[in-house]
Structure formats: C-alpha cells, structure tokens
Structure 1
Amino acid sequence: MSKINRIETRRSKCYQDWEVKPEGQINTNFSDILIDGISIYDMLKKYEFIPCFGWGVQENQQQMVDYFLLNDMHPYLYWRYPLLVCAWCGDEECGFISVFVEREGNLVIWQDFRLEADNRSIPLGPFTFEWEEYEQAIRNTCIEGKSK
C-alpha cells in the first residue's frame, strides 16, 4: 500500500506581503492545498498558475468542488481536473495544470499531473488521501465572492 498523505487548505495569495509584486501582475487570493504541509502552489509555482479553489464566482467554485469530490465529470477531461489555472481569469483556454483523480474505497489518489494544452507530464505524485480528510479539505476551499 502506498503512503497516506495529509491534505489541508489555507488561504493564500500569489505574492506575500514581504514579496515584491512584479509590475502588471495580479495578486489573487485563493485557497491553497497543502499536501503533507507543503503548498501545491509552491510545488508548481514555476508554471505561473494558481489553485482553482476559493476564488472567482460562486458557481465556478462549486463546480470545482463537485469535480474534485467526484460528483461530476469534466466535460472533456473526464476524471482529470484543472487543479491550477490562470490567476487573472481561471479560464482553461489560458492553460492549466490538470490531475487525474480516482477513488478506491476510502482512498483518493491524485496522479498523472499534466501541463495542458501541451499534454506534458509533470513529475509529481502520486498522492493518496483518506476520503474523510480529503472531502473536508476540498469542501473548505469554497468561499463566497471574488477576491483579488
């Protein structure tokens, strides 16, 4: 059996107060996913995308939660979901990082991270989470309103 990873969330933003925000960049607030205490945003920051959770319109936030809780299948990615998206608009047309999500009993597995639309593999994971902790973390990402 593979290692069980811890998952939790925390509010974050693209640039912290001590960092200099490059001119012309946006400082979007979002819900970051921590895996074993390490930020998924920090793990994948070099690709210049942010987590899809906790920002934007409420309808989109709920759709992301439904995807990651496997209540809904993505219309063209199926069980692969956009995990990190454009910090300006969140639109998949701007590019994104996706992850394949599957549930096996009480476990959820994130694997096969990809930079879309290049379909380029990113060497990260797999990560295995216990369903209860995973479900709580994903539900905690959904907030009302849009913060930038």
Structure 2
Amino acid sequence: MSAEYATFGLAPAMRAGGVLVNGEYQVHRDFMDFIVDGRPLLFQLSDLDAVSPLASDVPPSIFTAQVRSLLLETDAPLPGGRYVIYGCPECEDLGCGAVTAVIDEEHGDFIWRDFAWQTDEHADLELNGYHGIGPFRFRGPEYRQALDSLLGPDSASPRRRVLLIGARVALLAKLAAALRTIGIGADITQDAEGVSADELRAYGAVAFGRAVAQQERAAVRRSFERAGVEVAYVDGLAPIVPLLVAQIEHALDRSPQEQRRLTRLVAADGEAGIEVTSPCRVRLTAYRLDRLFRTHAQEVFDGVLEAGRHRIALDARAVKGESFVVARTSGGVLVEAMAH
C-alpha cells in the first residue's frame, strides 16, 4: 500500500430537492461530504446521486453513532470491515445501492480502501469495485479532529426553513406545500415586525414575491439585522412554483463555492451557458409565461457534460417571451431569466 498521505476534511453539501417537470418531487438533503485532497470524494464517483451517512436530518443519536463508526469505535456495519460511505438519498436501504469501503487503522493512521458499489451484504470487488479510487491513507490526528468537530456544541444544523412574503396567498400556500414535501419548512407572513429573534433564527432564507414593495423588503431586512440573523434573500422571478423552489434551493446551498460541481449558468438568445467542475449529469428545464400568464415547462436538455464550459442551444418555443432556465445536478441548482 502506498505510504503517501491524503488530506481529509469535511464540508457542507446538499442533495438538491425540487419539483420535476413530470410532477415528481426530489427530496432535499443536507449532509457533510468527505473532502479528500481538497476535493469532494463524491465527485470522483462519476455522476452519483447519493449522500454520506453524516446527514443533518437524522436523529442526533444516529448521527453520533455514524461518526463513532467512522472513527472505528464500533464494529463495522457490513461484513469484511466495510462501511457505507455514500447511500441512497431517499432511504437507508442497501438494496438501492451504496458506495462502501473497508476502513482500517494502522499505526495511528486511518486507511480507506477497496471501494465498491454494493447492493447486498457482500461486495463483489471484481465486478463492482471502484478500481481507480483509493486507497487513501489519512493522518490520524487530522482525521479524528475533523470527525470529532461534528460532535461539538458549535456543529449547528443548517437552517432548512424559509419565510415566504408576498401578495398572492394562494401561490404562497402552493409554494409552502411544495417546499414541505421535499423536506424544507416554510412559513407565510406579510412582514417580520414583532417576530422574536429566536423565531427569526430558525430561517435560512426569505423569499419575496414580485409584488412586495422595496419599502416592505427593507423592513424585513431590518428585522433580521436587529436580531443578528444572516439569511439568504430570494427575489422571486415569476409566480411559478417549481421555479421558485429552485431559487430557494440555490439560496439554501451552504457548500463552499470552490467545491461545487455546477458553478455557472448564463441564459441568453436561445442558448444556455453551463460550467461544471467535474463530469456529471445536467438537466435543463425551461419555464415560461404566455400572454395569459399560463405556465409552460419543458425539459430542454438532459445529458452528461465533461468538466468545463458548454454552450447548449435551446428549443426556441420553450424560451420565447418571459422565460427562465433551471440547471440542475444532483448536488446543486442554478436559475436564470432568459435574456433576449
């Protein structure tokens, strides 16, 4: 085994939720990703829609048990000393498939080796092994410090709650229902005056409808500033629920900018400009409002893009008039209005 060391760290990541064109919902999941040699390990596993066991929405006792497991303080959950590194974002069933690896401790170092895709109790390295990944040798103190930090009092959970402010109550109710369906809490109000600081601290984002005046927006911002709460502010592009959900998903993304896979979206003159940092599946959806303010949605691209910048021509009918483009990978969402 190579004596070279890899660096180990953790960083916030998310599995982006959303309302899809076919009417299905994709659940939002926040988790801590493993950063190996400065890059998310997940990005080395082709285009995998998965989360680590260190998810923020599991009960504290289970979260602690997952950390202790990775520190080898408990027995391996799978035969052969194997541990789940990434699993299904919708459930915990091994039958959906999971990335597993053997974790050993040697002379104070931690070693992750023999990565494999596993769908039952026993891994077939010959058939399903990730032969180009690992082994990784991590220095014990660095590895322990990163994982131990998750158990401290400062390891606050992400604020997955959104405050919705707007004039169209029926639209806000539909938006709140959609957000709750994908795992994001939502409340509706006209303003934030008189709301206690403790209540305001529960929110990670505030979404304004297009009809909310600048004076009202400023008053809401002052309320959060007085409470000492930093939130992301979302200016709703159009009264289209899936589009607004995508905007809010982007606002709630806590992952470091330099470790994101989808980093750029430009929409102009019937084209979309995309930039990704590693090979991944990208889906582009166009939304538009017609002259009667009816919503039309169309998936205009779905394919795997290599790392770099790409220009994608879009169906002219899908982006005429007042239209918007949503770019989505498993771990991120970007939204832009189409410039003509």
TM-score category of the 2 structures, normalised to the smaller one: 0.7 to 0.9
Q: Could you tell me whether the CA contact under 8 Å between 2:12 and 2:33 is conserved in 1?
A: yes
Q: Work out whether 1:136 is the aligned partner of 2:149.
A: no
Moved more, 128-137 or 89-98: 89-98
Partner of 1:63: 65
User: 1:78 offset after TM fit, Å?
Assistant: 4.8
Match runs of 1:49-60 below 5 Å: 49-55=50-56, 56-60=58-62
Change (3 A) 1:76 1:96: same
Alignment identity in percent?
22
- In structure 1, stretches of 5+ residues that fail to align are none
Please give the alpha-carbon distance, in whole angstroms, between the structure 2 residues aligned to 1:126 and 1:135. 18
Q: Distance in 1 between matches of 2:69 and 2:92?
A: 15
Deviations 1:46-78 (A, max 9, x none): 232111113212122122112111111124425
> Is contact 2:6-2:37 (8 Å) kept?
yes
Which residue type is aligned with residue 132 of structure 1?
A: P
Deviation for aligned residue 1:8:
0.8
Q: Are the equivalent residues in 1 in contact too, given 2:85–2:99 (CA < 8 A)?
A: yes
Per the alignment, residue 44 of structure 2 pairs with 43
C-alpha change, 1:29 and 1:21, in structure 2 (3 Å) is: same
Residue 98 (structure 1) aligned with residue 100 (structure 2) = yes
State the Cα deviation string for residues 12-40 of structure 1 (Å, max 9, x = none). 1123xxxx957222221100110011101
| Cα separation, partners in 2 of 1:81 and 1:144, compared to 1, 3 Å | farther
What displacement does 1:87 show?
Answer: 0.9
TM-score, normalised on structure 1? 0.83
Aligned-residue CA RMSD in angstroms? Answer: 2.4
Shift in alpha-carbon separation, 1:103–1:126, aligned structure 2, 3 A: same
Whose RCO is larger (CA < 8 A, sep 6+)? 1
How many pairs are equivalent? 144
Q: CA deviation at 1:117?
A: 1.6
Displacement of 1:145 in angstroms is 6.3
- The one-letter code of the counterpart of 1:105 is H
Partner of 2:32: 31
Per the TM alignment, residue 93 of structure 1 is displaced from its structure 2 partner at its CA by: 3.8
Deviation at 1:141, TM superposition (A): 4.0
Match of 1:121 among 104, 129, 136: 129
From the superposition, tell whether residues 78 and 67 of structure 1 become closer, same or farther in structure 2 (CA, over 3 Å).
Answer: farther
Instruction: Kindly indicate whether the alpha-carbon contact (under 8 Å) linking 1:14 and 1:29 is maintained by their aligned counterparts in 2.
Output: yes
Long gaps (5+) in structure 2: 161-182, 184-340
- In the alignment, the residues of structure 2 paired with residue 21 and residue 92 of structure 1 have an alpha-carbon distance, to the nearest angstrom, of 24
